[in-house]
Amino acid sequence: MPNNQTKRLANGAMMVALFSILITIAFYVPIISVVATIFAPLPLAWYSAKFDRSASILVAILGCIIPFFLGGLLIVPFALIFASIGVVMGEALRLKKSKVYLLLSSTITVLITFALQYVISIKLFETDFIKEAMQIMRESYEKSIELSQNLTGQTPIDSKTLNLMFDTMQMALPASITMGAFFFTFIIISTNLPVLKRLGVNIPKFNAFKNLRLPRSVLWYYLIVLSINLFISPETGTTLYVICLNLSLVLWLLLTIQGASLIHFCLDAFGSPSFLKVLATVMAVPLYSFYVLLGILDLGFDIRSFVKGKIQK
């Protein structure tokens, strides 16, 4: 028991030190800050995967306190996000949860942490950093439009269209933040799991992307939102409009991913070279409408069995 306790304390101290260094580099040092940001949760994820929850939470708290002495108050919210991701990742790995659970739990953790910091920022410091970021972006757009007008003598976009664009962006913030948190978490998990595996942590495996099948309920949600938009046509700015707008963005993304999975399945079934799969994934961005249609067909009909039958013949 004493040996285990000593090992726990020694490993905890090392992980706190390593986490603090990575957070400080990510916050202050240019260029390599990207690498430090991606691997910042790694020390706490490893520790949480090896030791119990209470010890992991204590190490995470210390990991958020130490950077305060290195970088001041502004670095603490930054450290809190990565400490939370690390603990949740490690806890999921220690309990041998699936990779889907790991991804979803980490994404929800990022969203909850971000929401708490946003509320604290408004209530305690009276600072709405989202509103300020939108204002800075708007001013940048206006300066670009003014510069373009001075150079060409033409206005690329009128003020009414600009206002509509930023109003839509503001109403779509919940979905944008959710999708951003998902992709951010996916990058963190994808880069850290191979390292954790080499450090002796048991890592779950994802099924092949070509075999991805989202719940069929996603299709029903899409049809419900589509019906509301077609038959009710909620007025711009109303609560129902904002809800439908954000749900539409999330559902479009899910159906685009489903459509890309179907294409990967077909390419693999016909023995196509790997570069075609990469090309098909890249083309999902400009051709997202087509991919959404493929995703709908894939969830609504048994297209994969049809493809298998054609190949067997």
Query: Do 190 and 229 have their domain in common?
Result: no
DSSP assignment of 176-191 equals HHHHHHHHHHHHHHHH
Structural domain includes residue 7:
yes
pLDDT digits (tens, 9 = 90+) for 133-168: 888 888 888 888 788 777 777 776 777 787 888 888
pLDDT digits (tens, 9 = 90+) for 209-218: 888 888 889 9
Query: Do 213 and 187 have their domain in common?
Result: no
Structural domain includes residue 146:
no
Structural domain includes residue 157:
no
Structural domain includes residue 217:
yes
Structural domain includes residue 149:
no
pLDDT at 312: 62
pLDDT digits (tens, 9 = 90+) for 233-256: 888 888 899 899 999 999 999 999
Query: Do 288 and 223 have their domain in common?
Result: yes
Query: Do 51 and 191 have their domain in common?
Result: yes
**Crossing angle between the packed helical segments 53-71 and 75-94, to the nearest 10 degrees:** 160
Range of the domain at 73: 2-127+175-198
Structural domain includes residue 148:
no
Q: What is the number of domains present in the chain?
A: 2
Please count the other Cβ atoms lying within 10 Å of the Cβ belonging to residue 257: 17
Q: Using the structure block, give the residue that is written with the tokens 């000593």.
A: 6
pLDDT at 1: 47
E-strand stretches of the chain:
none
Query: Do 236 and 194 have their domain in common?
Result: no
pLDDT digits (tens, 9 = 90+) for 297-313: 998 887 887 777 767 65
The amino acid that residue 94 corresponds to is: R
Share of the chain above pLDDT 90, in %: 45
CA distances from residue 306 to 135, 210, 236, 298 in whole angstroms, order as listed: 51, 15, 42, 11
Query: Do 8 and 104 have their domain in common?
Result: yes
Output the CA angle 260-262-265, nearest 5 degrees: 115
Structural domain includes residue 110:
yes
pLDDT at 45: 95
